[in-house]
Structure 1
Amino acid sequence: MPEQRVTKVRVLDAALSIVREQGEEALSARAIAERAECSVQPIYSLFGDMAALAEELYDHARAWVAAYNLEHMHDGANLFEANGFSHLRLAKTETNLFRFLYLSPHMHPEGFEELFQSVALDGVEDCIQDLGHLSAEAAHELYLSMIVYTHGMAAMIACGAQFTDADLHERMDRSFQAFVAQIREGERS
């Protein structure tokens, strides 16, 4: 039987499945090799070391989450709501992956704008403009504020908080309204 070529994608998929199931702590060259059905040699040939593999795995996992968000883009009353609840759902249903992506040293934006650029979804700012009757600049600021706020709730969920969906909806709605009111007050001043 011809030997299958071990690719980066195959190794990254194996590593991602380990992170999703067991957390980053379970990652080792041996565990990844076993999952990828190869020896450890191709892992080091492809990535050099485990630190480089983890760096590429971070990007691979972000791509997985981007696809996840697209799958759930119609799960809310609008794209903005769906995006927020997708992040909260990820924290609840993919806790190990959420921790790897958002509660680890792998995420290291150098400012809020860089954070925004790394997680914002196309179309959400337009949705916020329409919902709040806001300028593009105000919608951008509100989206960033909601990203920070929603991530705080998601982090609590990933650490074991048991919020109901109704509580999360209420908090998200109240926060959106408060941010809109704050923006309008600022515009009047």
Structure 2
Amino acid sequence: MEELKKEFLLFAFAFYEKFVSIYEKDTDTEAYLVLPLSYLEFAKKETFLFKLLFINDMDLHIMQSGDFYQEVGNQKKAEKFSQMIGVSLEQGKEIFLDLFLYTHGMAVLVATDKLFLDKDDQEKRIKCILFALKTQWETRHE
């Protein structure tokens, strides 16, 4: 039974990745916003799969910030994200993790019918937190 569950989770994650790909092609969204905004849209449109993948069976155990990058794909996503926003990989990894934590909180609220912001408001908030994270990092490392 555990093997069947593992196979279904792999299938569900592949479905999520396809969802992100379609979102990227079908929306006029700046590239660096695709992951957070598609994550929120997935939480809204595919609530049960979102809860399964990213709440109930999320295989993520962060004891320190570097642990986030042990999960398959996160390192490459952070590298690409860093390039998109024009920062070093070190800075980009910190910002990417913080942005994920912020967006995940929003997505959980969306999936549990507690948050009903439209796409424009979501985008505004993500841009705002991204600007704040970049500014904070730059201030700490001057």
TM-score by length of 1: 0.64
Which structure's relative contact order is higher, taking Cα pairs within 8 Å and 6+ residues apart?
2
Gap regions ≥5 residues in structure 2: none
* Alpha-carbon distance in structure 1 between the residues aligned to 2:32 and 2:76: 10
Equivalent residue, structure 2, for 1:186: 140
* Alpha-carbon distance in structure 2 between the residues aligned to 1:157 and 1:144: 20
Task: Tell me, yes or no, if the aligned pair for 1:80 and 1:124 is still in contact at 8 Å.
Answer: no
**Alpha carbons of 1:95 and 1:119: their partners in 2 closer, same or farther (altered >3 Å)?**
farther
Could you say which structure has the higher helix fraction?
2
* Alpha-carbon distance in structure 2 between the residues aligned to 1:136 and 1:69: 23
* Alpha-carbon distance in structure 1 between the residues aligned to 2:39 and 2:75: 12
- Structure number with greater Rg is 1
Equivalent residue, structure 1, for 2:42: 90
Gap regions ≥5 residues in structure 1: 1-48
Equivalent residue, structure 2, for 1:29: none
* Alpha-carbon distance in structure 2 between the residues aligned to 1:92 and 1:123: 22
- Identity of aligned pairs, percent? 23
2:108 to 152, 155, 169: 155
1:134 to 83, 87, 106: 87
Shift of 1:108: 2.6
Aligned pairs, number: 137
* Alpha-carbon distance in structure 2 between the residues aligned to 1:158 and 1:135: 33
Shift of 1:130: 4.1
The residue correspondences of 1:1-189 to structure 2 (distance < 5 A) are: 49=1, 51-74=2-25, 75-104=27-56, 106-111=57-62, 112-116=65-69, 117-118=71-72, 120=74, 122=76, 125-131=79-85, 133-160=86-113, 161-188=115-142
**Alpha carbons of 1:85 and 1:76: their partners in 2 closer, same or farther (altered >3 Å)?**
farther
Shift of 1:166: 2.3
* Alpha-carbon distance in structure 1 between the residues aligned to 2:52 and 2:132: 31
**Alpha carbons of 1:126 and 1:119: their partners in 2 closer, same or farther (altered >3 Å)?**
closer
